A and B are shown apart, each in its own frame.
Chain A
């Protein structure tokens, strides 16, 4: 049973049920899912083995003193649900006055999303990057990494553009962070595909954030630069076939970027968009891959995640990959439901993105530039809309010739 990358992929009860039914789960053991799914335990486990973690306060250590210990971590701080993931229920607090109210809100969201209201707080690193490392283990002590992914382009803690290699890392730093990730995976005798996420500070320090015990949405960028089919690897490992590559054989070639195409209106406060898909034409060509979940005639509703498709490109270097990504996203035609393609293109064109000078705050800091309306094309839109409006054109055509000659008659 391959669980994809949804909630079932990290649900230990689901794995137990499969085991009881004699079905092989493609992924790690339930114990590892349990450990890494509990951020508090995961953090303690990683810290105890000498890997770097950020200053924090954990509610469970002593609930009565939690607020006081949270204060002692210092501002700004980040409140997270212990059972959380994917940015849900996380709150940044910058001043003491807001602390207790934000704790209550985070607790309520944690209960609702995860059935668990326990929290922890962590020092919020200013201008952080989010860098994660793909790991693969055979469950018999052998672990390799498939290099890093830079995932700093986030909106409200949701990644929307990912790339590899990270423009932030020197070769030495890259080796260090990747080997740290492999070490953490080795410490749990990891089986299958996993991702170790780190916060990367401007001074080059990095801290363990969490481990996702599943395939990630952004795994294709790793596939593009390593040439390794991660899903095929997962199946091979689950079937007992072990790892197909030694560490020295896993190389990064070129540069890959993934764009998440979402149904939302970036120019109207990112309102979720709904509608019927009327026309789709995917970009094609060398170094362009589209993983899509939509078809013409399909309906996009708010019942599901707003991500409709992923556009992944590969280039020989970062500049080449960006150019290819821009051409591809501009040529990606999706009509009938509003998507964020224009916004993604604006990010790719931004000087800070081009230079690699980004952090997880980039999208918020540059929001005004990124959601600015481009050149005024209203005349074109108005004319094309009027002339493609069948009822309107027919009505105009039926107006007797004499009135026509009077021009734009109004009454």
Chain B
């Protein structure tokens, strides 16, 4: 059974298997026998891995696993590869400007149907108390600017979309 994990921006396909004696995790071209057992404290576990007993704290949400390990916290995003195929649509991202971080729209300088040149300002956003200008990635026609000034948006929301290029 597979999962696609994202750790620190790196995509790692992972297989879990059972040998009859215990679990084996296959990732990054290695097969590692391992076991996870509960320990004292909320969310506390001990991971047995390659002869080591590693204490850690762990919490699981719908799409991510949070692990506190050796004094640091890590967020591991989980995807079922079957879900990922559904998103599909090769090259669909190229026409869209996706929010690099959550924030608020400050101003919008174009509207649907407007013809824009590469580099032209589409909208200004504010995240973390700093303004950022988002400009057109190529020449084209604006298809959509979903957020109005003053509206907030989340990470990876589409902030502007250009109409697909005609061949």
Contacts and interface: CB of A to CB of B under 8 A. Distances in A.
A278 B62 CA distance: 11
Contacts of B106: 112
Given A279-B59, A335-B58, A396-B18, A377 B154 contact: no
A380 B59 CA distance: 15
Contacts of B42: 279, 281
Contacts of A389: 3, 16, 60, 65, 78
Nearest to A383: B34
Given A302-B102, A381-B69, A279 B43 contact: yes
A342 B30 CA distance: 28
Interface string B102-135: 1100100000000000000000000111110000
Contacts of B61: 275-276, 278, 336
A341 B35 CA distance: 28
A382 interface: yes
Given A271-B101, A272-B102, A378-B7, A384 B58 contact: yes
A405 B35 contact: no
B7 A381 contact: yes
B72 A345 contact: yes
Q: Is the interface of A mostly helix, strand, loop or mixed?
A: mixed
A247 B156 CA distance: 54
B20 A382 contact: no
B20 A333 contact: no
Contacts, number: 194
A392 B3 CA distance: 8
A379 interface: yes
Contact of B47 (A275, A387, A404): A387
Interface residues of A, number: 66
Chain B CB count within 10 A is highest, among A265, A379, A386, A408, for: A386
Interface of B: 1, 3, 5, 7-10, 12, 14-20, 23-28, 30-32, 34-36, 41-43, 45, 47, 49-50, 54, 56-61, 64-76, 78, 100-103, 106, 127-131, 152, 154-155
